[in-house]
Amino acid sequence: MLRGHGARAQGLLRELIALLPEGSPRRAEAAAALGAALAAASRPEDAAVALLAAGAPAAALEQYCLAGEWRMALALAGARGGAVSRRVLFGFQPGSKADQGG
């Protein structure tokens, strides 16, 4: 969608999201792009909120784990059916064996 992950791109994505109708596929795409930009900018908690708005709860859960927001991670995991993976319980580390399913 927008190249670059700077503050300007994030601001433009936020403006686009505000202009698009609720429930629009384009709005979800813009929210997902914002989530990716925030994650790339090392803002995982903000990324999680954007990813939830995009309808991507698994990606949001991962970002909450990265942020160390265990209460939110466990609440989201519970809302998704109560299954909490080993990644959540033992701490998510990108590139670790847990990240690769081990």
pLDDT at 1: 42
Is residue 102 included in any domain, yes or no? no
| Residue span of the structural domain in which 22 resides | 7-90
Is residue 85 included in any domain, yes or no? yes
- Residue 81: CA atoms inside 13 Å, Cβ hemisphere, count? 4
Is the CB of residue 20 less than 8 Å from the CB of residue 27?
yes
> 77 pLDDT band (50/70/90 cuts)?
confident
Greater pLDDT, 99 or 35: 35
Our count of domains for the chain comes to 1
pLDDT at 89: 56
pLDDT tens per residue across span 3-48? 445 667 778 888 888 899 999 999 999 999 999 999 999 999 999 9
